[in-house]
Structure 1
Amino acid sequence: MSETTDKYRAPALEKGLDIIELLANHGEGLTQGEVAKALDRSQSEIYRMLSTLVRRGYIVRSASGDHYSLSLKMFSISQRHPPIGRVIEAALPRMRAVTRLAWQSCHMGMESNGDIVVVASAESPGSWGLALKTGTVVGLWNTGTGRVLAAFRSKQEVDELIALHRRAIGEPELDRAEFDAHLKRIRTSGFEKMPSATTVGVTNISFPIIGPSNNVVAVLSCPYLERVDDLDVPSLDEIVELYGQLANELSALYGNHNAQAQMIEST
């Protein structure tokens, strides 16, 4: 750590953030002792931090009083963040409407400090489908969502995104040459269509949702599952068209009225 970085550290804040990040990975909650052990801190300093976080509403205690877990306050705050809230509010009813036509689930992903996070999800109307839960963190270079989020950035911005990114569960090591080739292809076509790199039998279809400054603010993705029974459902090509139209509609609602054409022309 550089001398300048060390000078501006805030130890108490860092301890609080360490606790929040730890509890985010333990939905069942942890005891004070377990938190102290995991963070290699004394029980007394952990108790003070836990008490403050409980008082501010970021953490809740179990009925028995011996376990601590995250409240929904941080999620609630994130929903009030204007860019996220505006896109989700406009997107969800339209996503649900298209899933009823497509018989395929879909989700929306955004980038947050290098993480690729699912911020909205709509399930297929049928009895089965593949839907990612809101809050799921997915890979950057092995998912359609991650690739499209990276594709329309400058090389410097992609470098910074890779440096920030923490590999998701199951995400392989980065092959930069292969990743750059994927991004080049996406810039040409304007969207991603790829066999899933995490699940057999799934085709990932991902379209950018583009803001007024011609930047990708989110990605609309459909994990397409091919039906082989007698139900008459849209084909893969028709699914691509349906979700491409929805991505354009959401881009227009966000202030960009010629999204796909602009993205392709700019590459």
Structure 2
Amino acid sequence: MGRNPSEIYRMLERLVARHYVARSPEGDRYSLSLKLFMLSQRHPPLHRLVARAQPAMDAFAKAAEQSCHLGVYDRGNITIVAQVNSPGSWGLSIRLGSRVSLMDTGSGHVMLAFQADHRRAEMLAEHEVLDGESPVPATVLAATIDGVREAGYWRGESQQAFGVTDISLPIIATGGSAIAVITCPFIRRIDRHVGPDLEATHGLLERTAKALSID
């Protein structure tokens, strides 16, 4: 960059002052802020993806009576770039701009499963442990990724909340790699209301993912 450490530090402090970068509570680490994330939304490829996905996600949420969110790979983990609440009274939602783990979430497993080997290795090398992340042995992760690739999706109990079954499917770009992952944190109602069950919801999400993928 042609900058000495003091110049880089001053630039970082300026970015912190303008709320583009956030300093950790300990003061020794920096991360990109939600303000910078929102600016990235204006980047044409991401903006086009979100604009295209939003109506399909709205339709899914209405039909399934469940919430859903869209995640993309970002600096070693997954950033949520679109989110739709359940139209009913009950649902689980993830805040827009949140970062979720590459290692112990359905979104992360699907993103890793649908990448070329060299790209997957790069993602894993860039991964940083997030707060609350459960450790996943390399052998277990490899087996999980293989299973997801073979099945074409991830479906299983959430590692972040009880009573939630995550369903995650890839949004495939030309070449066969995932450019995003759509996830439904399925919650089963136990009252007298009858809505789409897990299998029906999975089918709806699968159709949504296929509609958003690029053949």
Whole-angstrom CA distance in 2 between matches of 1:39 and 1:168: 16
Whole-angstrom CA distance in 2 between matches of 1:112 and 1:9: 26
- What is the Cα deviation at residue 14 of structure 1? 5.0
Structure 1 residue corresponding to 2:144, chosen from 172, 176, 182: 182
User: Which residue number in structure 2 is paired with residue 21 of structure 1?
Assistant: 21
Greater RCO, CA 8 A, separation 6+ = 2
| TM-score after normalising by structure 1 | 0.71
Task: Mark the runs of 5 or more structure 2 residues left unpaired by the alignment.
Answer: none
Whole-angstrom CA distance in 1 between matches of 2:39 and 2:21: 16
Matches within 5 A, 1:196-235: 196-235=158-197
Whole-angstrom CA distance in 1 between matches of 2:105 and 2:72: 13
Whole-angstrom CA distance in 2 between matches of 1:180 and 1:9: 40
- What is the Cα deviation at residue 80 of structure 1? 1.6
Larger Cα-atom Rg? 1
1:93 matched to 2:55? The reply is yes
Q: CA RMSD in A?
A: 2.3
Task: Mark the runs of 5 or more structure 1 residues left unpaired by the alignment.
Answer: 1-6, 27-36, 41-57, 59-69, 258-267
- SS of the residue aligned with 1:80? coil
| TM-score after normalising by structure 2 | 0.87
1:241 matched to 2:203? The reply is yes
What count of residue pairs does the alignment treat as equivalent? 207
In 1, are the aligned partners of 2:37 and 2:97 still within 8 Å (CA)?
no
Change (3 A) 1:14 1:89: farther
Report the residue type matching 2:174 in the other structure: P
1:171 matched to 2:133? The reply is yes
Change (3 A) 1:163 1:124: same
- What is the Cα deviation at residue 160 of structure 1? 1.7
After superposing the two structures, state which structure 1 stretch, 119-128 or 152-161, moved more. 152-161
Report the residue type matching 2:106 in the other structure: G
Identity %: 34
Instruction: Select the structure that is richer in strand.
Output: 2
Instruction: Select the structure that is richer in helix.
Output: 1
- SS of the residue aligned with 2:165? strand
- SS of the residue aligned with 1:117? strand
- What is the Cα deviation at residue 200 of structure 1? 0.9
